[in-house]
């Protein structure tokens, strides 16, 4: 029976490369001359540090562009509120990986509401969809690509006939 998995993940090596490229761009940009600003990747958390708040917003935009250029969906970036101290401004951005139970239930609900002849079941941080026809599975993919909210990057992998 054909099946596939719905996941939300990114390549950690590409994320590391994107952070390195963003650091290099910040060091060479004219508007950051003489400014101490940097990115740092710790696991799945990117720490941004600059002198003032508006520089953090510019740095965040540079990071988003670098992630997109490296093939990582920018919607997986969960930006926290900036922490402003007298001299420094810090902000953290989490790279989300995996589906929350709430998001997985929402996906299963949308698949069931579509009345397609497929079964969807939650397996940890992914959703497995099985059906008798390959066309039904492709219809589910098209449905989720068209409807996926602005905060949920989805990938479809492990497609089997």
Residue 43's domain comprises 12-95
Q: Which of 95, 128, 148 is the last residue of a domain?
A: 95
Tell me which of 75 and 26 has the higher pLDDT: 26
This prediction has a pTM of 0.80
Q: Which of 69, 95, 121 is the last residue of a domain?
A: 95
Q: Which of 95, 124, 139 is the last residue of a domain?
A: 95
Q: Cα(71)–Cα(111) distance, rounded to whole angstroms?
A: 27
42 and 109 inside one domain: no
pLDDT tens per residue across span 81-131: 988 888 889 999 998 888 888 888 888 888 888 888 888 888 888 888 888
81 and 143 inside one domain: no
* HEC profile of 83-124: EECCCCEEEEEEECCCCCHHHHHHHHHHHHHCCCCEEEEEEC
Q: Which token pair is 117?
A: 């002849």
**Domains in the chain, number:** 2
């Amino acid at each position: 029976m054909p099946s596939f998995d719905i996941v939300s993940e990114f390549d950690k090596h590409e994320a590391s490369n994107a952070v390195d490229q963003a650091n290099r761009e910040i060091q060479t940009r004219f508007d950051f001359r003489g400014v101490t600003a940097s990115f740092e990747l710790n696991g799945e958390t990117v720490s941004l540090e600059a002198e003032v708040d508006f520089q953090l917003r510019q740095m965040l935009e540079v990071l988003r562009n670098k992630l997109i250029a490296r093939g990582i969906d920018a919607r997986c970036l969960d930006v926290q509120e900036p922490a402003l101290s007298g001299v420094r401004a810090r902000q953290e951005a989490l790279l989300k990986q995996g589906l929350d139970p709430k998001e997985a239930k929402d996906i299963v609900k949308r698949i069931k509401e579509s009345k397609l002849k497929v079964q969807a079941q939650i397996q940890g941080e992914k959703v497995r969809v099985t059906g008798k026809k390959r066309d039904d599975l492709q219809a589910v993919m098209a449905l989720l690509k068209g409807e996926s909210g602005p905060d949920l990057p989805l990938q479809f992998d492990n497609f089997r006939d």
